[in-house]
Structure 1
């Protein structure tokens, strides 16, 4: 399970309906609701600047949060919707869903690469190119991995690729993409690539006859 689930601080909102929501916005708060988990919905509000920052950080709707509201037990939630003003595109309301430990959710899990010093392909001069530094997985809320580990010590050759099938995923987790996609590859250094391309160009030039050769052949 992930070592640190980020906290999301909110306040309980008094009153519901359009009037209470407008009052919250006038106080520079974004109104919201917490639902699910066989518990009554809880009206909340979050400081506008806090929510804007989290939205700009990205992945807000696919991040698991530990919701902290004074007077209530902490609960794990995930955002299910952020409503926005159609003109200014600013958040006006958000919906958070409580999660049971068995709830299936989509989350982006970071990828960590280990064993670089023992990687034969890298010791031969190869360069590690990371295609995905995180992978979206379907996981259970009670068994969220902190990271996915890629062991490079078994990558033998320059040109080899590491795909999702070569990573040991947690029990019950699976990628949202239904194909064996690439996580990283070990490519030749750019200097070697340039030398190889130059050699190919020189070889091609040697094979192409010059205009003078063609004329001499015609005269004979």
Structure 2
């Protein structure tokens, strides 16, 4: 049983990696082998081993398969800006074939549960007229949407879901990440998302004092994905 998903978010800085690491941890806890890829990342830190991204490291830590950092995050850029701009400054052409070639070896490892995490939302630009959404389209990956729950999230979530489906991909599930604990009419907002999003909710993650993978996993349920 090999399942792979593309993880996207309703926006940037809404806890997409935190949720992805929690999903991987939940899969490991269920006895599944896990692998992950974050093919492109900006905002990386220079270390003795080279450029390293905190999000990619968090995913790598939840992979049960023995993977090298460069396999998980082959395209790493230092400036904390949009990936296509960071790549342009580094003299790298950020195109779909390069990202597909980077991800396919991870998928070929055939872990029980594999996540490919995007950067930001669904329509993040690449070189030319391409978008990061072209990567899961080429690979035919179903999508998990992380909804950063705060004012305006319903519109962002529904537009993201519409775009995913219009691109011919299946929205496999969504997760409510309560990035703003003071969101007005929280229960009503979540009920609206449940009614209108064309996929099951895989969990509701509250604001956590320690948002590590294990703590997040406790609020997730993989049953709707067939596990």
The bucket for the TM-score relative to the shorter chain is under 0.3
- Between structures 1 and 2, the one with greater helix share: 2
Structure showing greater Rg: 1
Normalised TM-score (structure 1): 0.24
- Higher relative strand content: 1
